[in-house]
Structure 1
C-alpha cells in the first residue's frame, strides 16, 4: 500500500461515513477503489473529497442518482473541486427551491388540516389537493403514498 492510498477502514474513519455506506457508494459508481492481490479495497486520498461532496449533496436533499450523474460529467471522473461544487449546486438550486415550496405548502396544509379536524375529502388539501377526486368521478376514493387517487373496489 502506498501512502497515497487508504484502506476502507481509514476512509471510513477519516470521512465519518460507515463502511457499509462506502460499499454502497462504490456499488452505485460514486466512488472507486483498486483491489490488492488479497482483494482488499484501496482508495486514493482524493476519495475523501469525493465522499465529502457526496455527503454534502445528500445533506441538502440531492438524490444519489443526481449526484452520480454530476460526478459522471466531470472530466476523467476526477474529484470535484470547489468550482465544480459551485456550478453543480447552482444547477440544483431550482430543484431545491421546488422542494422547499412543496414542503412549505405541505406544512401549511398540515397545520390547517389538523386545525379543522375534518379531513373532508372535498376540501382537505392533504387528502384531496385541488379536489382531484372530483375529476375522476363519483364514488369512494383512496389515495396511495404519492397522493394519487384510486377508485376503491368493493
Structure 2
C-alpha cells in the first residue's frame, strides 16, 4: 500500500458575487518573485503585466475605462447574465473581464459592486506601451 499523505492545498478562492478574485493563498511555494502584497485588501496577488497583447475584450474594456475615467472612476451597473453595463451607455461587459484586469492590477474595482472602476498606473503604462508599439509598427 502506498503512502497517501495529503498534499497542502492552496486556499485561494473566487468570490463570484463580486467583480474581483479574492486570493487568500498563504502557501509560499505557490507564489513567485513577481507577487505583490495589497495591504488595503490584505491579500497577495500574483501581479504580472503580460508582455503579450491582452485579449481584444480586455483591451476594449481597458481603453473604454481610460477614455471615460476623469479621476472619479467609471460606474458600472449590474446587467443580466453576469454582465455589467457602463452607466449612461449601452456598453456591457462580462464580469470575468473585470476579474482578469483586476488580477493583473490594471484596474481597481473597489468593492466590486458599488465603487467606481478606476484605471491604475499599471493599466495606463500598459496602454502607453501598446500605443508606442503600434506607432513603431506603422
Q: Same fold (TM over 0.5)?
A: no
Normalised by the length of structure 1, the TM-score is 0.20
Q: Which is bigger in relative contact order (C-alpha 8 A, separation at least 6)?
A: 2
User: Which has the larger share of strand?
Assistant: 2
Normalised by the length of structure 2, the TM-score is 0.22
